[in-house]
Amino acid sequence: MKRRMKRLALALTVSLGLLISYLGILQISGNFHEVSAGTVYRAAQMDGQALARWKREYGIASVLNLRGENTGADWYETERAVADRLGIAHIDFRMSASRQLDGEQVQRLIAVMKDAPKPMLIHCQAGADRTGLAAALYVAGIDGGDESAAERQLSLRYGHIGLPWISKAWPMNETWERMEAWLGFPDS
């Protein structure tokens, strides 16, 4: 029994270490991924060099900042300056990963994403929670993707840990669940 408990403890420690390493790699890499082929991308908060590189490599025409306007913050001023210099439209839409969006906010977010110049880059701080919800809404509400394709955007693959009572970002999952029927997934 003692040997079995040690093995279990070791397996849990290794698993947790691998998960933490994976999440760290996502952050170091900028958590940059394609949402919709050649049209929409997602990322964590980037520096000016990354934004310039993504403009060059992917033709980014707009940036949707889900952290909202943060005048005076270094990251925000840099992002705005680089976007202006490169002719990238910059759109602020304030969200909190720890608060659900209501139906009106979801409709506004979908309208913003639909109207934004493409290719569009969506980002928040980590590119996992708020960005995951926005990407899921884009896939389902604009791109016509199915439920599982949309839900993959709000997953551990991108660093989102959606666990009730454990994760501060659980409201992103709750928002998604409430919006599924509205988006045309009536069996949800």
* Mean pLDDT for the chain overall: 89
Evaluate the CA torsion angle 161, 164, 165, 170 in order and state its sign. positive
- What is the model's pLDDT at position 29? 66
Q: Which CATH number fits domain 32-179: 3.90.190.10, 3.30.70.270, 3.40.50.1820, 3.40.640.10?
A: 3.90.190.10
Inform me whether the pLDDT recorded for 16 exceeds 80.
no
- What is the model's pLDDT at position 36? 97
Listing DSSP states for the chain in one string gives: -HHHHHHHHHHHHHHHHHHHHHHHHHHHHT--EEEETTTEEEES---HHHHHHHHHHH---EEEETT---TT-HHHHHHHHHHHHHT-EEEE----TTS---HHHHHHHHHHHHHS-SSEEEE-SSSSSHHHHHHHHHHHHTS---HHHHHHTTSGGGT----TTT-TTHHHHHHHHHHTTTTT-TT-
- What is the model's pLDDT at position 30? 72
pTM for this entry: 0.86
Q: Domain-by-domain residue ranges, the chain?
A: 1-30, 32-179
Q: 75-114, pLDDT tens digit by residue?
A: 999 999 999 999 999 999 999 999 999 999 999 999 999 9
